[in-house]
Amino acid sequence: MIESLLGQSEALLPFILVGFGAQIIDGALGMAYGVISSTLLLALGVPPSRASAGVHAAETFTTGVSAISHIAHRNVDWALFRRLVIPGIIGGVAGAYLLSNIDGNIIKPFIQAYLIGIGLWLLWRGFRYPPQAKSPKVVAPLGLIGGFLDASGGGGWGPMVTSNLLVQGSSPRHTIGTVNTVEFFLTLSISITFLLNLGWEVLTQATLGLLIGGVVAAPFGAMLARHVPARALLLMVGVVLTLTSLYGIGRSAGIIG
């Protein structure tokens, strides 16, 4: 299977470029790989369950490299990691099982509307107040909800968890590094659930392209998260979150094709 997919290199290149660009953004800002990649696959007519499964199969490898890179750059808050990882896995497995059996896109526009509000709030805070690091109080519920939305919507862990931790005052650099590191364990558990329910058909040419591009880009995203100032990271997260959520609502409403 892999040999036949690699043989069609020209068709593979666009997916490699998308995976590279999406992972640069995800590694630096803690979100958007799943959203960007899933949007592309859905636009090409891939069913929601298989699009989400394919993206998570690729993310199992890209998030592994990203996690190692963030650890190497000391971007991980291990206390926060321990509070997120188990709830995230539980939510992810539940969401993957749900999407394998029913359409989980019904609530997506409501979540995206909520994320637009969070994005605008982050922009306002970034312009008005310099980020002041505080220990977040609501963590485990965020992990549970973020994991569930990520599996059932093909992208949602970063936007939900990163943005809400930043709203609570968590350090942008360590929030991004920690959320990306937890995401490896989340995507691994989600991918295993999808494989058990859907089989190996989730491994497509698009999946391979996203994987290659994402693995190459992962170290650069972690480097950016370490060196970009906290206020700039906060503002960039707000911009990406607002724009991707607006795009998602436009697609759901039929405004954007």
The residue ranges of every structural domain in the chain are: 2-252
For residue 8, pLDDT over 80 is answered with: no
pLDDT value of residue 204: 67
Q: Which two tokens stand for residue 81?
A: 């990691």
Q: What is the mean pLDDT of residues 227-246?
A: 84
> Which runs of consecutive H residues, i.e. helices, occur in the chain?
2-7, 9-29, 33-43, 48-72, 78-101, 108-128, 140-153, 157, 163-167, 172-198, 205-227, 230-252
Angle at 9 (CA atoms; ends 41, 203), nearest 5 degrees: 45
Residues with Cβ < 8 Å from 47, sequence gap 6 or more? none
User: What's the pLDDT tens digit per position in 65-118?
Assistant: 999 999 999 999 999 999 999 999 998 888 777 765 555 556 667 777 877 887
pLDDT at residue 130 in the model? 65
User: Among 26, 69, 20, 22, which Cα is nearest to 162's?
Assistant: 26
pTM: 0.77
pLDDT recorded at residue 244: 79
Q: Is the distance from CB of 210 to CB of 54 less than 8 angstroms? A: yes
State the pLDDT confidence band at 200, using cuts at 50, 70 and 90: low
Complete DSSP assignment for 100-116: HHS---TTHHHHHHHHH
The confidence band for 5, taking pLDDT boundaries of 50, 70 and 90, is very low
